[in-house]
Chains A and B, each alone.
Chain A
Amino acid sequence: MIHTESLTRTFRVGRETVEAVRGIDLDVAEGELVAFLGPNGAGKSTTLRMLTSLLPPTSGSARVAGVDVTEHPAEVRRRIGYIGQKDGAGHNYRVWDELLMQGRFYGMGKAEAKAAAESLLATLDLTGLRMRKVSSLSGGQKRRLDIALGLIHGPRLLFLDEPSTGMDPQNRANLWEHILRIREERGSTIVLTTHYLDEADALAERVVIIDHGRIIADDTAEALKRKQAGDRLTVVIRPEQAAGARALLATEGSEPAEKPDADGLALSVRVEAASHAMPGVLERLRAAGVDVIAASARQPTLDDVFLNLTGRSLREGES
Chain B
Amino acid sequence: MVAISLPAPPRTGLLADVGHVWWRETLTIVRDPFSLIFSLLQPLVFLGLFGPLLAGVAGGTAAFGGSSLQWFLPGVVVMITMFGTSMTGANLQFEIMTGAFERILATPLSRSSLMIGRALKELTPLVVQAAVITLVAIPFGFVLYPLHVVVGLVLLGVFGVGIGALSYALAIAARKTEWIFWAVQQSLLFPLLILSGMMLPLETGPGWMQVVSKFNPLTYVVDAERVLFAGGIADTTVLWGFVAAILTAVVGLGVGIRAIRRATI
Contact = CB atoms under 8 A, between A and B. Distances in A.
Contacts of B53: none
Contacts of B182: none
Interface in A258-283: none
Interface stretch (B78-86, B105-113, B241-249): B105-113
A41 interface: no
Given A27-B1, A93-B24, A93-B28, A86 B104 contact: no
Nearest to B95: A90
10 contacts: A3-B3, A30-B4, A67-B5, A78-B8, A86-B99, A88-B99, A90-B100, A92-B28, A101-B23, A106-B9
Given A90-B100, A93-B27, A107 B9 contact: yes
B110 A84 contact: no
Interface string A76-92: 01111011111111111
A91 B93 CA distance: 13
B1, B12, B98 — which one has the most chain A CB atoms within 10 A of its CB?
B98
Contacts of B24: 90, 93, 97-98, 101
B109 A105 contact: yes
Interface of B: 1, 3-12, 16-17, 20, 23-24, 27-28, 31, 94-95, 98-100, 102-110, 264-265
A149 B104 CA distance: 10
A154 to B, nearest CB: 8
A146 B4 CA distance: 27
B3 A91 contact: no
Interface string A56-92: 0000000101110000001101111011111111111
Top 10 A-B residue pairs of the complex, sorted by shortest distance between their CB atoms: A86-B99, A66-B5, A88-B103, A82-B106, A65-B6, A90-B100, A105-B107, A78-B8, A78-B108, A107-B10
Nearest to A85: B99
Contact of B9 (A63, A91, A108): A108
A55 interface: yes
A280 B146 CA distance: 98
A101 B100 contact: no
Contacts of A79: 6-8
Contacts of A156: 6
A214 interface: no
Contacts of A105: 17, 20, 104, 107-109
B5 A65 contact: yes
A137 B227 CA distance: 51
A225 interface: no
Contacts of B7: 79
A74 B5 contact: no
A106 B23 contact: no
B106 A54 contact: yes
Contacts of B5: 65-67
B103 A149 contact: yes
A88 B102 contact: yes
A104 interface: yes
